[in-house]
Structure 1
Amino acid sequence: MSEYIGTIIVAAIVLLIVFFIVRGMVKDRKKGRHICGGDCSKCHGGCSHSL
């Protein structure tokens, strides 16, 4: 078990980072902010505000 401690710690840190990134994206989405900045003319048709 002790040989896996480093791997477990790194995995936990990566999971925390991913969690905070996703949480930030969800909060931005709820506030009406979009990845593209809301200007669909710059997204080249990739914008979908209805999601």
Structure 2
Amino acid sequence: MLLWLSANGATIIITLILIILVVLAGRKIRKRKGNCGCGHCGCGCDNCYFKNVPEQSENKKE
């Protein structure tokens, strides 16, 4: 077991660092998304350009 850990120690440390960075990036993106859930900016719905733009429906009527 110690032989395996010593042989793969650098890989394990790099993998843990990458996992931590991905988790932190995901938290920052979720936090920046804002309360309105539009995902376009972190300013909130009061200043959002897209707040008055209607959502496009999947079933378009012609």
Shorter-chain TM-score range: 0.5 to 0.7
Q: Which runs of 5+ in 2 are unaligned?
A: 42-47, 56-62
Could you say what the CA RMSD is over the residues aligned between the two structures, in angstroms?
2.4
Larger relative CO (CA 8 A, sep 6+): 1 or 2?
Answer: 1
- 5+ residue gaps in structure 1? 41-47
* Number of the residue aligned with 1:5: 9
TM-score (normalised: structure 2): 0.49
Instruction: Tell me the distance in 2 between the aligned counterparts of 1:19 and 1:3.
Output: 26
Render the CA deviation track for 1:4-51: whole Å, top value 9, x for unaligned: 1100000000111111000000011134584x54556xxxxxxx8xxx
TM-score, with length taken from structure 1: 0.58
Corresponding position of 1:20: 24
Structure with bigger gyration radius: 2
Could you list the structure 1 runs, at least 4 aligned residues long, displaced by more than 3 angstroms after superposition.
30-34, 36-40
